[in-house]
Amino acid sequence: MKKIFSNIRTMAALLMAGAAFAACSSSDDIIENQQPANNGAGYTLTVSASKGGSTTRALTDNNGAIEASWETTDIIYVTKDGTEIGTLSPTNIVGLEATFTGTISGDADINVDDVLTLTYHPIADIEGFASQDGTLNGSATSAQNFDMAVATLTISAITGNTITVSESQANFVNQTAVVVLTPSRRAWWGDVQYYNISSLTILATMNIPNVGAVTEQIGPITVSGERPHYFSLPSQALLAEALAAKYSLDEDDVPALLNSATVSFAGFIGDLYYPAYLVCSKTGYKFAAGKYYKLDNSNFSMDILMKGTADGKDVYYDSSQTYWSNSVTLPINSVAGWKVEGNYNYVFCGDKQLYMENTNEGTEDWVRAYDSYEPHGVTYSLREPAGDPVLTTLQIGGSSATISYQAGETWKKAINYYPVENAGWTIDDDYNVRYNGSQLYDHWNNDIREWDTIDPNEAYHF
């Protein structure tokens, strides 16, 4: 099977497949284009382009619908086999139609039946989308200037210095989707609160064959102005093409990438009284090419996160979901290397293990998934891994039950930290310690509670 090649021509074919995927929100076709022309020094090429029903160029938000029109400053780049050979510019714009003309380089090796690729707003790689500023138009970094589209033309004749093509128009296929993001959430007193984002990171995850889940990060994007925020984002097809090239995948693997794609956002909110991050996500969210997506909290989950640090590494956490196991699985954390590993659920960042020193309680230990992030009185550091813990096993008198633990640990910690060794041990709704349903007592017949420290000298019984 031939390898996916990373030039613009492939994107057009992939994009046509990607456009069939349904969106999870309201959408108006916004981008699909038609236009050719090129200038170089040799051959003249002239092509007409009509906006038709859903082609695009300049973008305007008209009460929630993105509308498009041609502009006199539009430039079309012409390539053959990945090499630029000229550019095209509009010579006439009449309503929704335009004519583009330009020159193909005289040094270009062109022949009848050759395929020329025309690209509007070429973007070299996925990371290039991070240069946007969150506005729709008006600057070089507006979403409009990341509205990438591709068309192909076949040369039918070369007469003197004039190139003729088989197609009557250049039918552009968009590689991007336009997203409009208006962050909001309902406050506890019932009012809807709206927020402005000052930076945004887009995280697109796909399952790579023989590799596993891979997250491609775009950003952080520095956002200008107030909501709504606009972004041109690569469609799932363009993401799949980029990742296929990056991991040298076969062409047949691309559909699997498209089916596995999910997208999430993480952005810094600049207008709250405390530093906070917005995380928006939806499993299976797919951006079809040439579509317009209006995103708010009605069509994806939205959480406000706090930002913490551990040995200089940022970590984001939800104050209502305080366990590290909840935090490290957030895309904004996992892409930075945070994870839970091993049989004992230790927390790592990259290849370093997380250690905590609690000055409030005078304790220190390796951090595990069931520990809470502590914003006050705790110093976190990343250290060389310590390996598996050395456990003590205590026999419960008069039974076959044992509990594995480290000195100074509570029953709750031992049960949570070592689930394999301590299978059968549970904490009930009244915080009592039980083994296979039986209540544990001390020698005074007092109930053993989850916060009690395990005492090797105590005569525990059921």
Query: CA–CA separation, 212 vs 40, rounded Å?
Result: 45
pLDDT value, residue 113:
97
Any idea where the domains of the chain sit in the sequence? 8-175, 180-333, 390-462
What's the one-letter identity of residue 20? Answer: A
Radius of gyration of the chain (CA): 29
The SS3 of residue 10 is helix
Query: CA–CA separation, 416 vs 368, rounded Å?
Result: 9
Query: CA–CA separation, 447 vs 435, rounded Å?
Result: 13
Pairing of strands 176-181, 184-186: unpaired
Question: How many other CB atoms are found less than 10 A from the CB of residue 2?
Answer: 7
pLDDT by residue for the chain (462 residues), tens digit each? 222 223 433 333 333 233 222 222 333 333 333 333 334 458 999 998 764 434 444 566 666 666 667 788 889 999 999 899 999 999 988 866 789 999 999 889 999 999 999 998 898 888 899 999 999 888 899 998 998 888 899 999 999 999 999 998 888 777 888 888 877 666 667 777 777 778 888 777 777 877 777 878 888 888 888 888 888 888 877 888 888 888 888 777 777 777 666 666 666 665 554 445 555 554 555 667 777 666 655 445 556 667 788 888 888 887 666 789 888 877 778 878 999 998 889 999 999 999 999 888 888 889 999 888 888 889 999 999 988 899 999 999 889 999 999 999 999 999 998 989 999 999 999 999 999 999 999 999 999 999 999 999 999 999
The candidate with the shortest Cα–Cα distance to 30, out of 56, 53, 3, is: 56
Residues in Cβ contact with 228 at an 8 Å cutoff, skipping those fewer than 6 apart: 61, 180, 181, 182
Cα-Cα-Cα-Cα dihedral sign, residues 73, 79, 248, 237:
positive
Using a cut of 0.75, tell me whether the model's pTM lies above it: no
The CA distances from residue 232 to 119, 145, 214, in Å, are 16, 8, 21
The CA distances from residue 13 to 75, 106, 172, 238, 242, in Å, are 22, 28, 11, 10, 13
pLDDT value, residue 274:
46
